[in-house]
Structure 1
Amino acid sequence: MSARKARIFLIVFISAIVLLLGAWLVLLRDVPQERSNDPAWTFNHGSIGNEAAQGLPYWIWRVLPAVVPDLLPGNQRGFSAIGVAWEPGAQLPVGFSQRTVGVIPRVAPNCAFCHQGTYRLDLEDPETIVNAGPGTRVNVQGFLRFLVAAGQDERFKSSLIMEAIKARYDMPLWERLLYRFVLIPGTRAALKKQAAQFKWTDNRPDWGPGRIDPFNPVKFANLKMSDDGTIGNSDIMPLWDLQSAAATEQRRFAVHWDGLSTDVHETVMSGAIGDGLTYRSYPVVARNLAAIEDFVNLVQPPDSPFSSRLDPSSKFYVDAEAVAQGARIYEQDCASCHDVKGERYRMPIPIAELGTDRHRLDMWTREAKERYSDYEDDHDWGLQYFQKTDGYLAVDLKGLWLRGPYLHNGSVPNLRHLLTRPAERPTTFWRGSDLVDAENGGFVSAEGADPYRYTIRVDTTVIGNANTGHVWGTDLDEVQKEALLAYLKTL
């Protein structure tokens, strides 16, 4: 090679290195999120390291509901349309983190996106946020479908999005150029790719508010498994007092509806991995994940509003004698499974005995267990506690008044109907409200009962929605049922 060619090659090589380094600094460099000493804030807004994989540039995320408002669920306004809660004065709703990648802040969902609760005691009450509660209103699929539809909409273009940004923020020139020519086209392409990634959901029953298929997305996207047609639709669980699931010298306790893991730490890690955490971003968010794990181990549900100490005229008054009788029935018929000291606590009850809809159970396969245990050849995540079971978990009943609808797939609208024989349970009802049903336990579920919330009709004849099984308590006489119901409302 001549000296002239060598110089040209060297210039080109150095230029390429500079360009790649510049692109990494501008677009890809992981920047730690500012830390908070508030564990609830970290749970609600702490990064789990998925901004590069799942995040949207902040200003695209911010203006998208205004650019394509008709694509939001129920034609509602803003991100409240997907059922997320907002703390007073917060920049982001609960369940979203903001972290800078390169030089651009990005917004991505975190653990609290699903695991957030709200309730109202009266129709006109403002919502009360319940940290780490069951996401009974969160419309995860609605959010995904909004993004997919937006990415394929002709309005998703630089001119319209930049116009919407300009109305809210005097963006400097360098940032305008980056958004207009790199971030907006790149986000549009990524959302089109996501459309193909979630195409399989078109052939399954809708999740609806408060439900998610948690592991089929991991199977098909992360583990590269073929579509097996399984349905994993299940209610979003609360993450309260998970220290009660810590292993002892005698036994390990399971987590997830079907007990697919027996380790809380691995549950936190695998959840973050499924949502886009990589081993490259892990060192940046390791403290956040540790704080989130500590939080879910200790956080407790709020006290029930149902009490015998209230004025008997209150709709939340429960008779003390009935509660005491119900407690005795619970101890005799329910505690062995649902009490933290029960011999079947956090153990999967065989599906043949339980009799509930088995689709969520069949979704998690032995192949999925093996593949997730060996996830990523180039990094050892140390996952060793996945398992395949033959039933659903017997969990504690803390905060039961906030967990409606009931059963793992949310197929029974309230506690009263949970104590009726399956054939007598309603085949249709409405879910998505956070207005407490003082009479029946859970949340109101009649059509139009809560005009302030986006609710959907549940049909239990649809595959994956069966309301069968869990017949414990259904053979009690009416007096005993009322007593047990009174007690369960207080949990």
Structure 2
Amino acid sequence: MVILRIFYRVLLATTLLLCLGIAVLLYYVVNPKLPAYVPAQVRYLEQWSEADRQTYYYTPQGTQVKGLRYEWFTALELPFSEQRFAEPEYLARFGFLIDPQRKASADNPGNLPVGFARHQDPGSHEQYLDITCAACHTGELRYKDQALRIDGGSAQHVLPSSVPTLRGGSFGQALVASLAATYYNPWKFKRFAHNVLGDDYDAQYDQLRTDFKQSLDTFLRVAWNDTHRGLYPTEEGPGRTDAFGRIANASFGDALSEKNYRVANAPVDYPQLWDIWTFDWVQWTASAQQPMARNIGEALGVGAPLNFFDANGQPLQGADRYPSGVRVRDLQRIEETLKHLQPPSWPEDLFGKVDLALAAKGRGLFAENCAGCHVPPVTSENGRPVKHLVSIPLAAIGTDPNTANNIADNRYDLSSLQWDPAELAKLPVHLHPTPDKPLDMTQLSVAKGLAYVTAFVEERAYREAKVTPEERPAMDGFGLPIGVLEQRAYKARPLAGVWATSPFLHNGSVPSLYQLLSPQDERPSTFYRGTFEYDPRHLGYRPEAFPNGFLYDTRISGNHNSGHEFRTGKRGNGVIGRLLQPEERWALLEYLKVLGGPLEAQLP
């Protein structure tokens, strides 16, 4: 009896501890640790017109956040209160950009942050939440209680992951928590349903609950799949996502076969977009060529619906390939608008006057140490100034290798799609170099696989949008094919406006330009990300600790801050130039403030 009582007590204590642990876990999962939001006066630079800005911010792409309706999103409450999840001040804590002076408008009826749009599919009465490219490619710098908006710059939000962690901080995780709390709390769901349905509450309540559960289940499946497979071991944090890894896992893993899941341990920063329409190749590894295919891939990555199979589970064939949600005319509208975007010009009244004499010295140092890679030759082709960017082999640049290696090495089995090589040959896909043997559909790279997927999607979307043959070259973008270039290299882009694009390197592992010009051993091994506070001396976000900031550890795979070094030693393996003395670094920074802007013409 004594032994039995002891056993029951131990069992009871263990059960209580387990329940307490689950309660603590749930508490932290639904209460993410977020930085505080402090309102500030938003200032806009003269990069383009206000009309262009609003077009860029709120033109939909055709994405869906896992079937989430726009009115659902605006009506959601936080798990433990009646506060709306979509309140601008709350979403700003995830790093999304708002303007306290802005009010709801026809383009933005929910008064949501930059890049939160809505769309309605043909034949449907539902309006879906649509996350656009502006959400990830708009930046902000804060200094002296002013928020300087950088249109086309690098976002610093925590968007993609729905994997639950004790730290929280991810928009995806917090959204799933609010969805689950709304569905499983009957009082909360009743309020939600009244807000969404209004006078149709009684007639449509059951259908709303069914549709809502379907969307919630989709979120939960993705969160569970990503978690138990350990697909994203390198935490992305603010301003980063493993774009190719996530698109490949969604397109080839979720939609085709669990055998196609690959560990995605190569988060990259969101790059700036000004002048991108002049680049001969885009993406960090210079792997994509055609603007429309690039934008379709981006839309698919953010959640535009895509079907590979029919209702019976059979692969779609011929002209039936592939129905999707992408809105090609809206994508072209965004692309055309971005041609107007100018690099940001250094605001002397906010950040301080430029020392033009020092900048002139920096101009000489730039010509000596930087121009060979970052000032590409320019030609005129088909009415476009084309900048032929330099790609630097991984062995030479020495930066974190995961992104380049994963794109070069990962292979996927797409044989279940039953692609006919003769059919592929008719698509506007150009592989560089041209393969010397037939493609193996059981071992296809992510770049090639996505190129053919986007080609099929593009063809179908063009037909449905009634794009004429005469319109096609402009819709594609200068008549360019869907080019695919696979190389273990990273591209060097032009540096106009680079002062506004912190942090640096493709994975955002170096906080400031001053540190980028310094040897690796002078760069911090850890620093904090997620702040918008700007350091106009070192040209970067401030790296100091702040409440609920994200600790970036450069010792983790995918986060390395190696390479692109100016230091004494043999060139190669990350050493790209001689050691720059501190006074030379300051001179270079002064020049980088004016490079590509109106102040450059004032240099002596």
Instruction: Specify the TM-score bucket, using the shorter chain as the normaliser.
Output: 0.7 to 0.9
In the alignment, structure 1 residue 288 sits paired with structure 2 residue 316: no
Alpha carbons of 1:244 and 1:166: their partners in 2 closer, same or farther (altered >3 Å)? Answer: same
> What's the counterpart of residue 487 of structure 1?
591
Match of 1:417 in 2: 515
Residue 273 in 1 paired to residue 303 in 2? no
Is contact 1:460–1:466 with CA below 8 Å preserved after alignment? Answer: yes
Residue equivalent to 1:478: 582
Structure 1 residues 106-185: aligned runs within 5 Å: 106-122=128-144, 124-125=145-146, 127-141=147-161, 142-153=170-181, 156-157=184-185, 159-164=187-192, 166=194, 170-173=198-201, 176-177=204-205, 180-185=208-213
Distance 1:203 1:281, change over 3 A: closer
**How many Å apart are 1:114 and its aligned residue?**
1.1
Listed as ranges, the gaps of 5+ residues in structure 2 are 1-49, 105-110, 162-169, 254-258, 307-321, 380-386, 410-444, 460-475, 567-576, 596-604
Distance 1:294 1:138, change over 3 A: farther
SS of the aligned residue for 1:66 comes to coil
Structure 1 residues 69 and 137: alpha-carbon distance in aligned structure 2, compared to 1, 3 A threshold: farther
Superposition deviation, residue 318 in structure 1: 3.2
CA deviation profile, 1:57-83 (whole Å, cap 9, x unmatched): 12321233534679999xx96222221
**2:353 aligned with 1:317, yes or no?**
yes
1:222, distance to aligned residue in structure 2 (A): 0.6
- Return the alpha-carbon distance in structure 2 between the equivalents of residues 236 and 368 of structure 1: 19
* Superposition deviation, residue 176 in structure 1: 4.8
159-168 or 110-119, which moves further after superposition? 159-168
Of the three residues 364, 367, 373, the one matched with 2:451 is 373
RMSD: 3.2
Q: In structure 2, the residue corresponding to 1:429 is in which secondary structure?
A: strand
Instruction: Provide the residue aligned with 2:40 in structure 1.
Output: none
Matches within 5 A, 1:382-393: 384-393=482-491
The percent identity for this pair of structures is 25
Deviations 1:363-412 (A, max 9, x none): 21361122112217975649731221111110111221221111111111
Q: What does residue 467 of structure 1 align with?
A: 561
Provide the residue aligned with 2:406 in structure 1.
363
Q: How many angstroms apart in 2 are the aligned matches of 1:263 and 1:457?
A: 36
The verdict on how the C-alpha distance between 1:174 and 1:96 changes in structure 2, with shifts beyond 3 A counting, is: farther
Q: Deviation at 1:215?
A: 1.1
1:204 alignment partner AA: P
Letter in 1 for 2:290: D
Structure 1 residue 206 and structure 2 residue 235: aligned?
Answer: yes
Residue correspondence of structure 1 range 47-66 to structure 2 within 5 A: 47-51=60-64, 54-66=66-78
1:187 aligns with 2:207: no
SS in 2 for 1:467: coil
1:338·1:345 contact (CA, 8 Å) conserved in 2?
no
Structure 2 distance, partners of 1:351, 1:462, is 18
Amino acid at match of 2:70: Y
Q: Residue 490 of structure 2: SS of its match in structure 1?
A: strand
1:96 correspondence with 2:116: yes
Deviations 1:203-252 (A, max 9, x none): 5111000111101111112123623334221111111112321xxxxxxx
Distance 1:215 1:171, change over 3 A: farther
Amino acid corresponding to residue 146 of structure 1 in structure 2: A
CA contact (8 A) 1:59 1:165 kept: no
TM (norm. structure 2) is 0.65
The answer to whether structure 1 residue 42 and structure 2 residue 55 are counterparts is: yes
Q: Is the contact between residue 235 and residue 410 of structure 1 (CA under 8 Å) also seen in structure 2?
A: yes
Contact 2:231 2:263 in 1 (8 A): no
Query: Which consecutive residues of structure 1, in runs of 5 or more, have no partner in the other structure?
Result: 1-36, 246-252
Three-state SS of the structure 2 residue aligned to 1:416 is helix
Higher percent of residues as strand? 2
State the distance in 1 between where 2:217 and 2:355 align: 60
Instruction: Check whether the contact 1:65–1:79 (CA below 8 A) recurs between aligned residues.
Output: no
State how far apart, in whole Å, the 1-side matches of 2:179 and 2:207 are: 15
Change (3 A) 1:297 1:166: same
Q: Report Cα offsets for 1:325-378 as digits up to 9, x if no partner.
A: 001111221112112438995232101110111011122136112211221797
Q: 2: distance between equivalents of 1:171 and 1:206? A: 44
- For the 8 Å contact 1:67–1:164, the answer to whether it is kept is no
Does residue 1:216 correspond to 2:216, yes or no? no
CA contact (8 A) 1:117 1:136 kept: yes
Question: Partners of 1:175 and 1:300 in 2: how far apart?
Answer: 51
CA distance in 2, matches of 1:288, 1:132: 17
Question: Is 286-295 or 201-210 further displaced after alignment?
Answer: 201-210
Report if the CA contact (8 A) 1:69-1:78 is conserved: no
Using a 3 Å threshold, how does the CA distance of structure 1 residues 152 and 65 change in structure 2: closer, same or farther? closer
Aligned residue type for 1:352: A
State yes or no: 1:257 paired with 2:284: yes
Q: Provide the residue aligned with 1:10 in structure 2.
A: none
**What's the CA shift for 1:128?**
3.3
Secondary structure in 2 aligned to 1:398?
coil
Distance (Å, rounded) in 2 between the aligned partners of 1:197 and 1:434: 33
Are the counterparts in 2 of residues 340 and 396 from structure 1 also a CA contact under 8 Å?
A: yes
The letter of the residue matching 1:321 is A
Amino acid at match of 2:448: E
Aligned length: 432
C-alpha separation in 2, matches of 1:175 and 1:211:
43
Q: Deviations along 1:112-137, whole A, 9 cap, x unmatched?
A: 12111112222x22x23332211134
Q: Is 2:554–2:560's contact at 8 Å kept on the other side of the alignment?
A: yes
Deviates more, 1:254-263 or 1:101-110: 101-110
- One-letter code aligned to 2:343: P
The separation in 2 between residues aligned to 1:426 and 1:337, in whole angstroms, is: 25
Q: Which of 539, 563, 566 is matched with 1:441 structurally?
A: 539
Question: In the alignment, is the contact (CA less than 8 A) between 2:156 and 2:239 conserved in 1?
Answer: yes
